[in-house]
A and B are shown apart, each in its own frame.
Chain A
């Protein structure tokens, strides 16, 4: 994944200003910077203090910034999220970590009814600048209740912003951007990505929310991917190149609001669209992207049916082979794209 650090935004940094770190370390770095620079910032979540977080993202931040600012919450997602939303509404900049994104369902009232609607219902007099982090996705053998990708649930709610950084660079930059956003920002972090490495700028920088990035340019097909599927799509694109298929890979980064123009411009260029996402295919982000293209002028540029590659309509299985089979893999992308480009679909 190192090659991906040379992104459009990364080019403004000189090599000496960059350092290699993992996705989890990049988030910790962002949290550290935020805690250091802004006294309104607090971290909240289950076991994020001395234990360092279920995925060791917060690490030793509690020792550096103290228990007043890195706060272990009781095992009540609704309660913890409620406190975070209230704190945000009254002037703090809380960053709330869910142990697993699956537990977001316990806090839906606070996220969807309170955080998302408060600005609207109070005539703009109050904003809720809360940031929530959701370790998400399958691949860890954690079975059906700890492996879901629920980002589309939250992306359905006006008032929320929902992002899925795919690289350490974006994980840090988008978290810092989320803190500057006056409204609630939901960050879905794929658990498998936590250990992936990449070059990350030292110090403070932001990566804009709502802006997708073309990770690889191509001419035959546009692959719109999110989170870990960006990496799988890039690997697939390499294989596709060997058989003469030039795939453009878009890292969507933000699923609400969607960067319409980047996607549409790419589809107008390549005339083919494949959406790759780990969440259940039905009613997922791929459906939204597909419909968006079909409703736009880019429709007239489609030279093949749209293809969605998403998770199977099943809970994530515990069996490791079935777990893999339930979400798109590199081979699925290679086969799907090949069929599409060769006119077999």
Chain B
């Protein structure tokens, strides 16, 4: 029996993987552990190693093919093994495709009423090589679900009924209420443009765009957001930073950015107001021990949020070095899954683009995100009412009201503002 090479599950919510590049060719000799191919998941590129030694044959997944978890990618034959097409190689995918096409048309003709108008277009195109139980397939057929979107929990990614139900419960609103609205709005954009003769080019949606779309739609439509604005006078902070950077520069070290200091201030504020460092978990709230701070980094084609873990235990220099490393690797697509998951709070900074302030969408399951705008020089009254010029940074905190009430969010912001306005406090350890 040749060893199957399957699409591995390398990411918690990974449903499919895209073959990015093959490192070996059909017929090549491989040693167990050799890099076979790279896969592209929602957010990262990973190398897949050979599960056995031998020769590589029947590569059924070519570059850019999207393969469900557990789907066959190729086979490795041991040295003394005769190379014959295993089930699932070559001819099999074709016939299975034909089968699913037949099944689909049967469904359409037998029970047209069970298929909503939009269902057939999204119907199981990719189901040909998905492992699913007959019951899971049946439910998917009746509900018009693309099994390619369902995560299989069984052996080798097999989808069972429970997986379909989890999928259904995770998108109840989308599938039954907003999906028609959504799809009609996308249909409208296109049909309106077509009707009016507006010219456009169509841009295919990649995994990252699809993930951003679904996560943020879910967040904005299910998490009750509210927003708190506060202005921080950062003259002292800027002066403090200059002092530190002079020293750092003299020592040949990397200079601190304002953002590094904002991360430090956020971490200390989360440590001081731990109730805000929490997640809504349906029937309970999870209050985290560590301030794991997600830092939004714009990258080609989207954005990603690498996480500075246990930021409350790290000084500004350590944070600075870590963010520099994470952001650099984020831009080159080299982050591992554990590096962009597990955040408890996010910071998004658009100040460098001249944005004064904005409201950010919470990054679930986190409960707060801090939107940082551009620092501006403004006249403010001094204690005698005379105008003085101050550097004001506007920040906006988005809160999940299920976890963070207005007063709690305000308390956190107050703490944060106090740290920025008295920056020497940033050097203290959390109480």
Residues of A within 8 A of B (CB): 271, 299-304, 343-345
Q: List, sorted by A's number, 5 A–B pairs whose CB atoms are closer than 8 Å.
A: A271-B161, A302-B134, A303-B162, A343-B155, A343-B162
Which residue of chain A lies nearest to B154 when distances are taken between CB atoms in the complex?
A343
4 residue pairs, one from A and one from B, having the closest CB atoms:
A303-B135, A343-B154, A300-B138, A303-B161
Tally of contacts, chain A with chain B, CB under 8 A: 32
A344:B155 contact, CB within 8 angstroms: yes
CA separation between A343 and B154, bound complex, in Å?
A: 5
A301:B155 contact, CB within 8 angstroms: no
Asked whether any CB of chain A lies closer than 8 Å to the CB of B153, the reply is yes
Residues of B within 8 A of A (CB): 133-138, 153-155, 158, 160-162
Q: Residues of A contacting B153 with CB < 8 Å?
A: 343
A301:B138 contact, CB within 8 angstroms: yes
Contact status of A301 and B154, CB under 8 A, knowing A271-B161, A343-B160: no
A301:B134 contact, CB within 8 angstroms: yes
A303:B160 contact, CB within 8 angstroms: yes
A271:B155 contact, CB within 8 angstroms: no
- Supply 17 further A-B pairs (C-beta < 8 A) apart from A303-B134, A303-B162, A343-B153: A271-B133, A271-B135, A271-B161, A299-B134, A300-B134, A300-B137, A300-B138, A301-B135, A302-B133, A302-B134, A303-B135, A303-B161, A304-B133, A304-B154, A304-B160, A343-B154, A344-B155
CA separation between A303 and B161, bound complex, in Å?
A: 6
Most buried by A among B136, B154, B162: B154
Q: Residues of B contacting A302 with CB < 8 Å?
A: 133-135
Q: Residues of B contacting A301 with CB < 8 Å?
A: 134-135, 138
Q: Residues of A contacting B158 with CB < 8 Å?
A: 343
- Minimum Cβ distance to chain A for residue B419 (Å): 49
CA separation between A301 and B134, bound complex, in Å?
A: 6
Contact of A345 among B135, B155, B161, B162 (CB under 8 A): B155
CA separation between A180 and B153, bound complex, in Å?
A: 52
Which residue of chain A lies nearest to B161 when distances are taken between CB atoms in the complex?
A303
CA separation between A299 and B134, bound complex, in Å?
A: 7
Q: Residues of B contacting A300 with CB < 8 Å?
A: 134-135, 137-138
Q: Residues of A contacting B162 with CB < 8 Å?
A: 303, 343
CA separation between A344 and B158, bound complex, in Å?
A: 10
Which residue of chain B lies nearest to A268 when distances are taken between CB atoms in the complex?
B135
Q: Residues of B contacting A344 with CB < 8 Å?
A: 155
CA separation between A345 and B154, bound complex, in Å?
A: 8
Which residue of chain B lies nearest to A302 when distances are taken between CB atoms in the complex?
B134
Which residue of chain B lies nearest to A298 when distances are taken between CB atoms in the complex?
B134
Which residue of chain A lies nearest to B136 when distances are taken between CB atoms in the complex?
A303
A303:B155 contact, CB within 8 angstroms: no
- Minimum Cβ distance to chain B for residue A297 (Å): 10
Q: Residues of A contacting B135 with CB < 8 Å?
A: 271, 300-303
Most buried by B among A302, A344, A345: A302
Q: Residues of B contacting A303 with CB < 8 Å?
A: 133-136, 160-162
Which residue of chain B lies nearest to A345 when distances are taken between CB atoms in the complex?
B155
Q: Residues of B contacting A299 with CB < 8 Å?
A: 134
Q: Residues of B contacting A304 with CB < 8 Å?
A: 133, 154, 160
CA separation between A301 and B137, bound complex, in Å?
A: 9
CA separation between A343 and B163, bound complex, in Å?
A: 11
Q: Residues of A contacting B138 with CB < 8 Å?
A: 300-301
- Minimum Cβ distance to chain A for residue B312 (Å): 39
- Minimum Cβ distance to chain A for residue B400 (Å): 33
- Minimum Cβ distance to chain B for residue A123 (Å): 44
Which residue of chain A lies nearest to B159 when distances are taken between CB atoms in the complex?
A303
Q: Residues of B contacting A345 with CB < 8 Å?
A: 155
CA separation between A271 and B154, bound complex, in Å?
A: 15
CA separation between A271 and B138, bound complex, in Å?
A: 12
Q: Residues of A contacting B133 with CB < 8 Å?
A: 271, 302-304
Q: Residues of A contacting B161 with CB < 8 Å?
A: 271, 303
CA separation between A302 and B154, bound complex, in Å?
A: 14
- Minimum Cβ distance to chain B for residue A127 (Å): 42
- Minimum Cβ distance to chain A for residue B111 (Å): 13
CA separation between A301 and B161, bound complex, in Å?
A: 9
- Minimum Cβ distance to chain A for residue B3 (Å): 20
- Minimum Cβ distance to chain B for residue A290 (Å): 13
Which residue of chain A lies nearest to B163 when distances are taken between CB atoms in the complex?
A343
CA separation between A304 and B138, bound complex, in Å?
A: 13
- Minimum Cβ distance to chain A for residue B267 (Å): 40
